[in-house]
Amino acid sequence: MTARTGPLRVAVLASGGGSNLQAIMDYFREAGDARSADVVVVAANRASAGALDRARAARVPAEVIRDPSDGGAMTRLLESYRTECVVLAGYLKLVPPEVTARWRGRIVNIHPALLPKFGGAGMYGRRVHEAVLAAGETESGATVHQVDDVYDRGAIIAQERVPVKPGDTADTLAARVLAAEHHLYPRTLDALARQLITSR
Ligand code: GRF
């Protein structure tokens, strides 16, 4: 059997602005021929998601997920791009079990807190940072984790910590955590892609 070469084929799912998507696309583009992954499609559950504009600007196919609960349709969409790894970047819908099963060990998410704390259903956006501040935490951060059928429960792959500073608001803390996400996510995906490529 001949080993396949070339970058890992990554699909990114998003719901929002897509700044993590941008960080990921920029990182792999900048790596040029040495890159470990290519973003081959971006799919969003909202046609107005900024992530789709970022994809188009980068000349990456942009797709709208009509029914996020339709696992068969999502599987067909991802397979049509020969997706090897699924990356959630601000994707706010539960991924159907068919998809998590098909890409088990190859589907990851980033969460804007230090899991296992401050995760689970309803813990997204400002609410996460408000909860961190209300709990009087002295640090927060970003977590990259495997995705299974339960929100924010999969195995933790990597974390990056940031301090909670006196006088922080949810907005100032969110900005600090987001900067950590932009640093952590591409580098973690790079490491994961290199592992997955060797197991092709
Ligand atoms: C990030 O904080 C991510 O952790 C969370 O949603 C936000 C997405 O931001 N799940 P963006 O769309 O990547 O700018």
* Residue whose entry in the numeric block shows the structure tokens 């339960």: 150
Q: pLDDT tens digits for 158-187?
A: 999 999 999 999 999 999 999 999 999 999
Region 39-49 average pLDDT: 98
- State the pairing for strand pair 107-111/139-146: antiparallel
Residue nearest to atom 8 of ligand 1 (CA): 90
The CATH number of the structural domain formed by 109-192 is 3.40.50.170
Contacts of 77 (CB under 8 A, 6+ apart): 41, 43, 63, 65
For the entire predicted model, the pTM comes to 0.95
pLDDT over 70 percentage in the chain = 98
Predicted confidence at residue 22, as pLDDT, reads 98
Q: Is the pLDDT of residue 90 over 70?
A: yes
Q: How far is the CA of 31 from the centre of ligand 1 (A)?
A: 23
The answer to whether domain 1-104 and domain 109-192 are alike in fold is yes
Q: How far is the CA of 192 from the centre of ligand 1 (A)?
A: 20
Q: How far is the CA of 88 from the centre of ligand 1 (A)?
A: 9
Secondary structure E strands in the chain: 8-14, 37-44, 62-64, 85-88, 107-111, 139-146, 156-163
Show me where the domains of the chain are located.
1-104, 109-192
Question: Which of 20, 22, 94, 176 to mutate for ligand 1's pocket (most ligand atoms within 8 Å of CB)?
Answer: 20
Question: Which of 24, 181, 188 to mutate for ligand 1's pocket (most ligand atoms within 8 Å of CB)?
Answer: 181
Q: Is the pLDDT of residue 58 over 60?
A: yes
- Assigned CATH topology for domain 1-104: Rossmann fold (3.40.50)
Q: Give the ligand 1 atom nearest the CA of 177.
A: 2
Using 50, 70 and 90 to split pLDDT, how confident is the model at 121? confident
